[in-house]
Structures are given as C-alpha cells and as structure tokens.
Amino acid sequence: MNAQQIQAEKLDLIGWIYSLQDVSIIEKLKSIQKNIEIDKSTELNQWQKDIIDERLDKIANGNEKFQDFETAIDEIEK
C-alpha cells in the first residue's frame, strides 16, 4: 500500500469511527490504542538493536566475555 492509499484508508477509518454509536466497539478501539502505546514504549530503537547485535557478535566470536547485569554495571561505574 502506498502513502496515498494509506491516507485514504485512515480517512475512511476516521469517518467510520466518527459515526460509531456502539460503546462496546469504542471501548475495544481504546483498548487497542492503549496496547499499541504500550508496545511502542517498550520497543527498542534501531541504535539499541545495533548495540545488542554488536555485543552478541563479540561474545559469539570470543572477543568479549559475557557478564551478568550487576557485573557490567559495576565495571561501568568504576
């Protein structure tokens, strides 16, 4: 779907939502919205994913030893 089609779909959905009279459907839509907001707040940014991938590669190649969280924090704080 291209950007223009997406915009048309959004407008169609907005019109449909605006005309809704069924409270239960509105509540379900609000629930979906909240779940999406929660998912976005826990989603990793690309730079975070890159760092994790880099560290996992180093550990897999033997260039870095695995440390538990507490040990890593202790070393960072030194």
Residue 5: C-alpha distances to residues 8, 19, 70 (Å): 5, 21, 49
Question: Which domain does 36 fall in, by range?
Answer: 22-77
Q: Which residues contact 1 (CB under 8 A, 6 or more apart)?
A: 9
| Residue 51 resides in a domain | yes
Number of domains observed in the structure of the chain: 1
* Token reading at 52: 């994790």
Whether residue 13 is contained in a domain is answered as no
> Would you say residue 2 lies in a domain?
no
- Residue at 3 is within a domain: no
* Separation CA 66–CA 56 (nearest Å): 9
For residue 12, is it within any domain? no
* pLDDT tens profile 19-63: 989 999 999 999 999 888 877 777 788 898 898 888 888 888 888
Asked if residue 8 is part of any domain, the answer here is no
Model-level pTM greater than 0.85? no
